[in-house]
Amino acid sequence: MEIDLAYLVPILTLLYAVYYYITKENKYFHDKPIPSMAVQPLFGSSGRLMTKKTSFHEWIIEIYNKYPRVKIFGMFDLTSPVFVVRDPELIKRIGVKDFDYFVNHRPVFGSSDNANSHSLFSKTLVALNDQKWRDMRATLSPAFTGSKMRQMFDLVGECCTNMVKFYQNEVRSKGGAQEHEMKDVFTRFANDVIATCAFGIKVDSLRNAENDFYVNGRKMMMFQRPIVLLKVFGFRLVPKLMAWLGLDLFDREQNDYFTEIIRDTVRTRDEHGIVRHDMVNLLMQARKGALKNQKEVKEESEVKGFATVEESDVGRMQVSKGMEMSEAEMVAQCLIFFLAGFDTVSTCLTFLAHELTVNRDVQDKLYEEIRETKESLGGGPLTYDAVQKMQYMDMVVSEALRMWAPAPSTDRLCVRDYVVDDGENLRFTIDKGTALFIPIAGLHHDPRYYPNPEKFDPERFSPENRDKINPSTYLPFGIGPRNCIGSRFALMEVKAIIYYMLMEFTFEKTPNTQIPLRVAKGFAGMRSEKGVFVELRPRSQ
């Protein structure tokens, strides 16, 4: 059978072009004085992760441990060369001191450039670049101070008491304690908190399990759907083509749903002069230039959690007039708060609940502090300042964030050529446009910084021990000016619900409680392999 050369030549040419495109950077690290991981076509150095042989959390720890004596090494994320920074001093230099060289995140899910301006995700704070990011960070920063958290705390507390009452009623109606999958429990709680605090609406995701807000949010977070995975690969391999096709990471249906909520809320408040201490109100103030970065007496004396990140000078910049914030940009900021609240906070709570369940001594000691705090409040409702003063609570949450960091890594993009020079024998250039990974999970599980790292030990963060921790090795909320703007809010939310839940229930093991807990394989974020099952047993029993 003869093969028509008229067809064969263009096919071979196309195949060669594709092969060249996916392998053209393979020798990138050959002239660098650092080791680099082996590379496979298309999968790069992440074949084990992409083929679901390991979890993202474990993969980050694996690659971190591959070259234990080096400060930085190379790898390939699919077809892109990436530097992995292991050395705390170099991480601090890149994340803080020389931040201007690494001001942006890499455009994983599309660019924030005008070419992709239709994308809602591209307008979020996490995706913005350069001056646009600086302006938005400075505009939003005053919304996340301790004083603003105090104003929003009542809304969080209301969600907490609502959740406790639901499970108390469930115990009465079903005649005893029940087993629960905690990711589902805390996702619904986090959903209600973000609905009331970021979108200005009240929903009850426990009593009305399939409410529109929860259903649309869950769809938005289903990153394992084949179509979403294809989009992720598309944005990573051919971002310009994805922008030209007008594709967004999120479905138009969910974009339109959340956009309509904000549009209606803002219109109603403008028309009727409604003021509510939530994120919508803060964004409306920011748009008018009414939010200012002012030093307050309360702010300076605030007791901060160990994991709370400090705002940089970028965030403290004064915005002299209202930012030209479009409706889409307002929606986008609420959206990123939703994504963080829906997944990151619920993930932290899920793994924390597991550790409290299997470490009963820690749970009992925390309960004693909770009981003492309630007595100090005269039996009244929990307050923001009371939460901040709970020392052992902060130690427990800090250790959960170390052991199970919701974001196992973070990244930076080199925006202009940067010379790495450790003053000893390492000197080379990181080229403009190249990405860097900061392996958070690897640092958090390095026995040099955290002896016996697989042990859940809140005492690492006691007042006597916390000074021994190198800040550049503890990064649950990132590092430098691009750290997580919502660390105060997240910690407040986590501590508040644990306070209310442990006040009324003990967390008990069940036959379905997985010990040791395993993280799901593949690029699935931080979720457990078989769920986190806990029995909520009323203390009255």
pLDDT (tens, 9 = 90+) of the chain, 541 residues, equals: 455 666 676 776 666 566 556 666 678 898 999 999 988 877 889 889 888 899 999 999 999 999 999 999 999 988 889 999 999 999 999 999 999 999 999 876 555 454 445 577 788 898 899 999 998 898 888 888 888 899 899 999 999 999 999 999 999 888 788 899 999 999 999 999 999 988 888 999 999 999 998 988 887 776 556 666 677 667 766 777 777 776 766 777 888 888 888 888 888 888 888 888 888 888 888 777 666 655 544 454 567 889 998 888 776 765 555 566 777 888 888 888 887 778 899 999 999 999 999 999 999 999 999 999 999 999 889 999 999 999 999 999 999 999 999 999 999 999 999 999 988 889 999 999 999 999 999 999 999 999 999 999 999 999 999 999 999 999 999 999 999 999 999 999 999 999 999 999 999 999 999 999 999 998 767 889 999 999 999 997 6
- Identify the DSSP state of 33: S
CA distance 347 to 278: 23
CA distance 157 to 500: 9
- Identify the DSSP state of 98: T
CA distance 254 to 258: 6
User: Helices in 118-178 by DSSP H: which ranges?
Assistant: 130-140, 146-174
- Report angle CA 67, 73, 77 to the nearest 5 degrees: 110
CA distance 20 to 150: 56
Which run of H or E residues covers position 281? helix 279-288
- Report whether 390 contacts 373 (CB < 8 A): yes
CA distance 222 to 225: 6
Q: Can you read off the two tokens belonging to residue 410?
A: 């973070």
The 10 Å Cβ neighbour count of residue 379 is 7
pLDDT (0 to 100) of residue 297: 40
- Report whether 120 contacts 328 (CB < 8 A): yes
Task: Tell me whether residue 159 is annotated as binding.
Answer: no
Closest CA to 169 of 510, 493, 504, 497: 504
- Report whether 86 contacts 439 (CB < 8 A): yes
Maximum CA pair distance of the chain?
91
61-520-410-452 Cα dihedral, nearest 10 degrees:
-40
DSSP class per residue in 176-188: S-EEEEHHHHHHH
Please, which residues bridge with residue 81 across strands? 76
H/E/C letters for each residue in 314-327?
Answer: HHHCCCCCCCCCCH
Which run of H or E residues covers position 236? helix 226-237
- Report angle CA 412, 413, 415 to the nearest 5 degrees: 135
| Secondary structure E strands in 291-393 | none
- Report whether 165 contacts 207 (CB < 8 A): no
pLDDT (0 to 100) of residue 310: 85
Helix (H, G, I), strand (E, B) or coil at 306: coil
One-letter amino acid identity for 370?
I
pLDDT (0 to 100) of residue 296: 45
CA distance 275 to 270: 9
The 10 Å Cβ neighbour count of residue 81 is 23
CA distance 499 to 371: 9
The 10 Å Cβ neighbour count of residue 268 is 11
Does 516 sit behind a cis peptide bond, omega within 30 degrees of 0 on the bond before it? yes
- Report whether 442 contacts 64 (CB < 8 A): yes
CA distance 384 to 353: 21
